[in-house]
Structure 1
């Protein structure tokens, strides 16, 4: 049966590939056969090279999604952008907090407060180190640019696998704005808007944008009747643009966000509906049961707050441009979780509930000096400085039960990072067809930590107080230090990153390039400190930096008078000291550990195409195929060489269409997108357990929008996850052993079908 399913999935993937290849070979005669009314695709301009350049002229794998497309597609948060990008995924199990991005097999399955993703996250050219900044809603954006592959030069801060760059709409001297309202399933409500224009004639302009969204629970906690998975999310962006002189401009932006609610529901799943080691039988059984009800003895509250201020200055100095980007950001995250997701105080040998508090302040400064881009030799040189301070407090506890089975421990640390980099990039046009591009970046990064883990003895009953996580609530129980770094521990790492990209223009509409590049992610510390006496497991340790070398060949083309765009690339990655979390089970207890895999590799091929078939019909598609493999990985004394990477599907694809037609003096837009994800395993060391695997699945969306005459008012309707597909976004073995019938898997699922209505006003 599995072979039949796999064969069907392969046929689907081949059919998609055939469609793409067929689109890439449509003859020019098409235009002569009744399609003279078709319009060209828009020319897309990107800033992936820290300059404004046409997407099809940049020798790199970059996907750009416009702000209009984001709004039309009903994309909600940063992770949702990934579905439009070949070989990219955006995973999230914490409502809208701490997403996990993957590109071409490179990403992080880490959820600690000091996690650093190898996919760089940038907003208006500002890098955000901690993932609590990265789950923001999408609103009032100019476009999003996703760079695939290591970015060792211009975007070199911890970007082993690529980068997401979110670009907001900037103030202009023309008054414009919009308002948008939505209502949908599960009590979804959205209100957002923006207004901008001239504040002082020819000198000062401003723009203000706000977004508010709320949703009711996806499930009800039957132990207390409260919602699980509800949220209220407010975000605001306020910008000023000053034209100080004809050669000098300054932009100032203030960003705010406040998210409050609960985590998305997790479900207890037991094998074949059998009892786990504690005798508990999960109501959802093998994953096919009721998803509208859960039973927890601890609620899942979640709160995220961020504030940021950034200043961008540009000076025109003859034929040069000097740019300065200064940013200060602060964020806080607070949450509680029921670690076993049952109504009981379970988790034998470990803990049943957890509390997590995180506070981060970061400052960054970038200077760039750029030559004119229309010269035979063009270049950019710069310096980058970064500092952050990360305060974390995490408590795990099992507070009820007999004396001796209770437990309490907390880990508190302050971690700070100081990073300095010098970088340069240049391009030399040898002739009209051939150009050489290259760059280098030297990085010096110092990471220090002061960490303490304390445990409480169970000689006295532990009270279950409202603030049970606080050591002050332990009453007669005494605490002792289990582990301490005894002050600040500091490590420094340096790296010389580079890229080299020859490009050759086969014709005015065809570009061939070869790219060799390196990526670097700084070293870190394992802060999974679990005082359960298992030697070498979940103990404090230093994790080495990871490095990646990429070898890529790419082809970009446009056809039929810019009506068809077809891009493709093939690549090989050599991965060294990959940082990953390995979930290990010893006896009946579960131990996550941040560690290095010695070596790994990735091979892949990807396609992107858009086709303006007629002035009314636009088609789009992408396809990626990956092969990932650990060459060196040892955990628990066992080698996992030959295993594939976790959370990385072998095949992903997207098929979509927009059809616009005139109706009653206005226009009606009908749209659909269908994305395919092949099988995914969530555990690094187990790629066969069906309870920790998501089989291949499709997700579909449908949208309709009517714009009234005058193009100022649009009403719409949408359905996301049309088929109400149930798919896992996380599944981990929580309790197990040698008996295959007593495993217990806390499991997270993607969002169910959402139906909604929208109203948009432009002014």
Structure 2
């Protein structure tokens, strides 16, 4: 049910690809002018192996989501792309603020700003280290490439699970652009658009894109009858393309984001004691849309960056240089106990600044022996502060603690990948990368001695704590890790339309430090983790380009796993990083894309996954046999769209997509009934009127068509309680999109 049904207005480009691996809608638009019926799937070009090739030629499991599909489906947050790809998932703990990524059960839910993800996230080939900085809005993108399995050779050390590359639409010398207006329930409104073209003919082109989204949130704070969960998200991207000579091209990309929300829109804490009460007799039946807060909830993000991409053609060789600067700042307050009681509130601040430089030299891919070689440098300076406090003693004594740390990271890598085509049908690819990384941390934790007392001003600042504070944990340490990652991939061409490959790969995630310290005994240096993967895959095309059918089987041997262990310590939810566990995962994936009838496009993906910790002990507890986090045994996606041409011109397009997942767990250690989600299925539908000429469309859409209530996350709480976050309810919207 809805609290309100307020409509507002939003903007984006024309309905695009209703599929994952093609730009089918663009093909339809072009076919109207040419007289073709657009009855074959388009070949999609990707750069997953650092050179251009079609997605069906890449001997690796890769899914592609087109920019048109993203706009057509009205996706807002980066994590929403995973609803179209099996064996992947992503969660966010506040609005669009902090996505966490998983591929085939590999990922991390650790909230420490210094924790790197085993899924590497890239924006225009630039690695983003801070996970919280990977939620940049989805607008004016060319495509998103999702690579499953270790990608350590070409993409770097922290890609044991895979890599996701968000690729923006580049400037061209042809004038073009789009706009989109979108309005929906819960006062959702979005404005999006881009314009580009030549500034100097054949020499200088530019493209600017903007996006604004806001909504009022769908939750109501029952503690004071106020709404919670509203957000505003603004972003801009400005690019210049310069042809400096016949052999040298430069692309400059500037981007900026400003984001603000009023806290997680769906967190509610309920009692796990007798009769559903917590330790103090507080009782609530958790329900989607109802929250209970007495402390301020808010998060603000400032994100800025720029990169320079230079491409030199040196005879038959191509040299690529990517220089990038990124900065990310997050400031947040929250009611940590999610109740009207004064039990705990928290503050978090993180400021990261990173610089990276990549040089890459590639031979022509058409040569019998072809190769890519390169160097990579990365440097990050991270400043983080976090505090927890209880301000009055209605239920418990006043308390205060604060963890602050500075971490510096510097890494160097050299890499290469070689392919030799023994015959027209058989090729062998081998890759090797060496990485050296140094990290240093200066950490300090303080806590109240006796009962805490607070003066005026911001409670989270130690200078405003008037009682005595004592140091409970210190760490001043530097460590250097270095290792090799590699892969070997033979590929055999069965026929003109089918290829089979086997991929053996080794990846590692760099070591680090536990930022979730509570005492000196919890100070820890975490060693690197390692993954060995074996994969057998098939890629094929059938019926004169009307059907793509891909499948793969995989097995993972996972060692020294970096674990996010979450528990209630002294009635406070604590997340700490540790490692030493072993595990295995195996499964299969099937992906089909077809045009069975003219104007009908369908796609289907199925993921089967088994995960298990084969050796996992923490203190006196043995968690061996537990499942990996966010790793449902079955995940499936299916979508279809049918275009009905009209005699008067234009068309009606009917589309839908569905995503189903079986039971999944949110923590490696606690996999009790309260700390997991049952299986669920989510569906979306849309109806589009395409005006004559194919440039403008009006779309009505419904997300979560069946209004399914499901858990998107859970948390162990103190004082005999637990927390739950619900996924979004059913929403309606209408959009107007136009290209020019």
3-state SS in 2 of match to 1:154: helix
Q: 1:157, 1:151 → 2: CA distance?
A: 8
Matched residue, 1:5: none
How far the C-alpha of 1:728 sits from its partner, in A, is 1.0
Q: Is the contact made by 1:109 and 1:580 (CA closer than 8 Å) also made in structure 2? A: no
Q: Is the 8 A contact 2:326 2:353 kept in 1?
A: yes
Hey, what's the Cα distance between the residues in 1 that align with 2:144 and 2:230?
Answer: 27
1:471 aligns with 2:469: no
Q: Using the alignment, how far apart are the partners of 1:551 and 1:459 within structure 2?
A: 56
Residue in 2 aligned with 1:353?
345
For 1:586 and 1:134, locate their aligned partners in 2 and report how far apart those are by CA, in whole Å: 30
Residues 434, 502 of structure 1: 8 Å contact kept: yes
Residues 173-252 of structure 1: pairs in structure 2 closer than 5 A: 173-252=173-252
1:312 aligns with 2:309: yes
CA distances 1:232-272 after superposition (whole Å, capped 9, x unpaired) = 00011000000010110011010100101122231112349
| Aligned equivalents of 2:665, 2:252: Cα separation in 1 | 44
Please tell me whether the aligned partners of residues 398 and 452 of structure 2 are also in contact (alpha carbons under 8 angstroms): no
| Cα distance per residue 1:86-140 (max 9 Å; x no partner) | 2110111211112111101111121111121100000111000001211121100
Q: Which of 246, 270, 290 is 1:293 aligned to?
A: 290
Q: How does 1:532-611 map to 2 (within 5 A)?
A: 536=521, 539-585=522-568, 590-611=573-594
Structure 2 CA distance for partners of 1:402 and 1:280, relative to 1, 3 Å: closer
Matched positions, count:
703
Query: Kindly tell me: are residues 135 and 690 of structure 1, through their superposed partners in 2, closer, same or farther at Cα, counting changes over 3 Å?
Result: same
- Counterparts of 1:238 and 1:460 in 2: how far apart (Å)? 49
Residue 339 of structure 1: how far off its partner (Å):
1.1
| Equivalent in the alignment of 2:488 | 500
Matched residue, 1:51: 51
Whether the 8 Å CA contact 1:297–1:338 is kept in 2: the answer is yes
Compute the displacement of 1:757 (Å).
Answer: 0.4
Matches within 5 A, 1:365-444: 365-401=357-393, 405-444=397-436
Q: Would the aligned equivalents of 2:590 and 2:606 in 1 still touch at CA under 8 Å? A: yes
The answer on whether the counterparts of 2:270 and 2:277 sit within 8 Å (CA) in structure 1 is no
Tell me how far 1:726 sits from its aligned partner. Answer: 1.1
| CA–CA distance in structure 2, aligned partners of residues 426 and 121 of structure 1 | 24
Structure 1 position 655, deviation (Å): 1.2
| In structure 1, distance between residues paired with 2:479 and 2:369 | 39
Kindly indicate whether the alpha-carbon contact (under 8 Å) linking 1:400 and 1:462 is maintained by their aligned counterparts in 2.
Answer: no
Inter-partner Cα distance in structure 2 for 1:744 and 1:143: 43
Q: Does 1:451 align with 2:443?
A: yes
Q: CA contact under 8 A between 2:270 and 2:278: conserved in structure 1? A: no
Are the aligned partners of 2:102 and 2:108 in contact in 1 as well (CA < 8 Å)?
A: yes
The answer to whether the 8 A contact 1:248-1:313 is kept is yes
Contact 1:218 1:264 in 2 (8 A): no
How far off is 1:661 after superposition?
Answer: 0.9
Check whether the contact 2:431–2:488 (CA below 8 A) recurs between aligned residues: yes
Q: Would you say 1:760 and 2:737 are equivalent positions?
A: yes
Per the TM alignment, residue 294 of structure 1 is displaced from its structure 2 partner at its CA by: 2.0
Q: Once the 2 structures are TM-superposed, how far is the Cα of residue 466 of structure 1 from its aligned partner?
A: 5.1
CA contact (8 A) 2:111 2:575 kept: no
In structure 1, what is the equivalent of residue 282 of structure 2? 281
The answer (yes or no) to whether the contact 1:553–1:571 under 8 Å persists in 2 is yes
Question: Tell me, what secondary structure is at the counterpart of 1:691?
Answer: helix
The answer on 1:480 being equivalent to 2:464 is no
Structure 1 residue 460: Cα displacement = 6.1
Shift of 1:300: 1.0
Q: Which runs of 4+ in 1 moved over 4 A?
A: 585-590
Q: Deviations over 1:616-647 (max 9, x none)?
A: 11111000111101112111311111111122
**2:660 counterpart of 1:643:** no
Please provide the CA RMSD for this pair: 1.7
Of 69-78 and 569-578, more deviation after overlay is shown by 69-78
Q: Distance in 1 between matches of 2:81 and 2:48?
A: 17
C-alpha distance in 2 between matches for 1:484 and 1:385? 30
SS at match of 2:68: helix
Instruction: Give the TM-score taking structure 2 as reference length.
Output: 0.93
Equivalent position SS for 2:81: helix
How many angstroms does 1:710 deviate by? Answer: 1.6
C-alpha distance 450-503 of structure 1, shift in aligned 2 (>3 A): same
SS at match of 2:152: coil
SS in 1 for 2:338: coil
- 2:348 and 2:387 in contact (8 A); partners too: yes
After TM superposition, give the deviation of residue 217 of structure 1 in Å: 2.2
Q: What secondary structure does 1:684 align onto?
A: coil
Determine if contact 2:397/2:451 at 8 Å carries over to the other structure. no
| Distance of 2:405 and 2:272 partners within structure 1 | 38
User: Distance in 2 between the 1:38 and 1:113 partners?
Assistant: 47
1:682 matched residue in structure 2: 666
Shift of 1:416: 1.0
Note if contact 2:60-2:537 (Cα within 8 Å) is conserved in structure 1: yes
In structure 1, runs of 5+ residues without a counterpart are: 1-35, 347-351, 737-742
Distance 1:313 1:334 in 2: 35
Separation in 2, partners of 1:269, 1:567: 45
- SS at structure 1 position matched to 2:50: coil
In the alignment, the residues of structure 1 paired with residue 668 and residue 679 of structure 2 have an alpha-carbon distance, to the nearest angstrom, of: 18
Deviation string 1:712-732 (CA, Å, 9 cap, x unpaired) is: 221111101111111111112
Q: 2:642: which partner in 1? A: 659
2: CA distance, partners of 1:404 / 1:706: 60
For the residues of structure 2 that align with 1:566 and 1:545, how far apart are their CA atoms? 37
- Taking structure 1 as the reference length, the TM-score comes to 0.90
Q: What SS does the corresponding residue of 2:597 show, helix, strand or coil?
A: coil
Q: Does the CA-based 8 Å contact 2:280-2:395 persist in structure 1? A: no
In 2, the alpha carbon distance for the partners of 1:735 and 1:449 equals: 29
Distance in 2 separating the partners of 1:650 and 1:114: 30
Cα distance between partner residues in 2 of 1:150 and 1:53: 20
8 Å CA contact retained: 2:638, 2:658: yes
Residues 388 and 417, structure 1, Cα contact 8 Å, conserved in 2: yes
Aligned match for 2:701, one of 712, 715, 718 = 718
Equivalent residue, structure 2, for 1:268: 269
Conserved 8 A contact 2:474-2:523: no
1:747 equivalent in alignment to 2:702: no
1:153 Cα deviation after fit: 0.5
Shift of the alpha carbon at 1:221?
Answer: 2.3
Q: 1:403 to 1:696 in 2, by over 3 A?
A: closer
The answer for the alignment partner of 2:506 in structure 1 is 518
Q: Work out the CA distance in 2 between the residues paired with 1:303 and 1:62.
A: 34
Name the SS of the counterpart of 2:132 in structure 1. helix
Please list the CA deviations of residues 198-256 of structure 1 after superposition, one character each: whole Å capped at 9, or x if unmatched.
00011000000000000102212244444311100001100000001011001101010
Q: 1:747 to 1:466 in 2, by over 3 A?
A: farther
Name the CA distance, whole Å, in 2 between partners of 1:516 and 1:87. Answer: 20
Question: Offset at 1:585?
Answer: 4.4
